[in-house]
């Protein structure tokens, strides 16, 4: 009898290791992976920010986002139901990247925590392609692309990013200095780690590396 049970357990362990659900990435972090999606894709003028509050939602901070989230239950979360599937109702106009939708689902499944500083700061990586471009894609391109170039800047390309360096606009806006529009718009400053990476790249002559 005992032998049979052990055999059965071994069988389950070998043949059904992932049968409970999708494979989840344990590294998903609210501040680094989730907040930027909402800020960059949902909080532009007229949408879900603290002044426009479209549909009653301010998606520029954790508390506002949680009004549409049921922790551990993506399918009971209003926000997830709006963005999922082939024909999502949100965001209006521009669909989220499927990867973004997956990240949000994983984050909800894992309890929708307000997690931050999940990865340690890599101070040696400040190349354009490896660091600056992903940062722009994550935090900025939703409002700075070819069809919607906030302030006239399309930050989806190298030339667009370098255009924003002149007059200290890029760093001035990231540092929230007086005389510049604070960026990313509608939310807090980026982490020191992220801002320092952009500064190092700019001060190093902003190579297209
Ligand atoms: C929610 C939309 C939104 C997001 C996200 C956003 N921007 Fe902007 N950005 C704008 C708008 C709109 C303007 C035009 C000025 C204004 O309305 O504040 C602007 C202006 C700027 C300017 C010109 C600033 C100046 O003082 O002239 C820079 C540089 C800039 N953004 C960089 C960034 C960077 C870098 C990020 C990401 C870290 C970012 N933005 C994220 C909407 C956004």
User: Contact at 8 Å (CB) between 150 and 142?
Assistant: no
Backbone region of residue 115 per phi and psi (left: phi > 0; alpha: psi in -120 to 50; beta: other values): beta
Question: 51-82: b or e for each residue (b if 16 or more CB lie within 10 Å)?
Answer: eeeeeebbbbbbebbeebbeeeebeebebbeb
Nearest-atom number in ligand 1 for the CA of 170 is 29
Q: Counting beta carbons within 10 angstroms of the beta carbon of residue 33, is it exposed (0 to 12), middle (13 to 18) or buried (19 or more)?
A: buried
* Side-chain-side CA neighbours of residue 2 (13 Å): 0
pLDDT tens by residue, 159-193: 999 999 999 999 999 999 999 999 999 999 999 99
Our mutation pick for probing the ligand 1 site, out of 152, 168, 184, counting the most ligand atoms within 8 A of Cβ, is 184
Q: What is the pTM of this model?
A: 0.86
pLDDT tens by residue, 16-67: 444 334 445 567 999 999 999 999 999 998 899 998 989 999 999 999 999 9
């Amino acid at each position: 009898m005992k032998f049979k049970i052990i055999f059965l357990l071994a069988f389950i362990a070998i043949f059904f290791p992932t049968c409970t659900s999708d494979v989840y990435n344990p590294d998903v972090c609210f501040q680094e992976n989730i907040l930027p999606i909402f800020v960059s894709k949902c909080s532009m003028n007229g949408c879900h920010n603290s002044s426009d509050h479209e549909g009653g939602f301010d998606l520029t901070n954790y508390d506002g986002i949680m009004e549409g989230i049921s922790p551990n239950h993506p399918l009971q979360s209003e926000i997830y139901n709006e963005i999922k599937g082939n024909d999502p109702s949100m965001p209006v106009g521009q669909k989220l990247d499927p990867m973004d939708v997956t990240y949000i689902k994983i984050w909800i499944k894992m309890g929708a925590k307000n997690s931050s500083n999940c990865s340690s700061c890599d101070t040696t990586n400040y190349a354009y392609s490896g660091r600056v471009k992903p940062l722009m894609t994550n935090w900025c391109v939703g409002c700075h692309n070819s069809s919607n170039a906030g302030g006239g800047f399309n930050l989806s390309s190298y030339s667009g990013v370098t255009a924003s360096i002149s007059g200290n606009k890029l760093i001035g806006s990231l540092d929230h200095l007086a005389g510049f529009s604070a960026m990313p718009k509608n939310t807090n400053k980026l982490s020191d780690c992220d801002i320092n990476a952009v500064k190092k790249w700019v001060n190093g002559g902003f190579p297209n590396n």
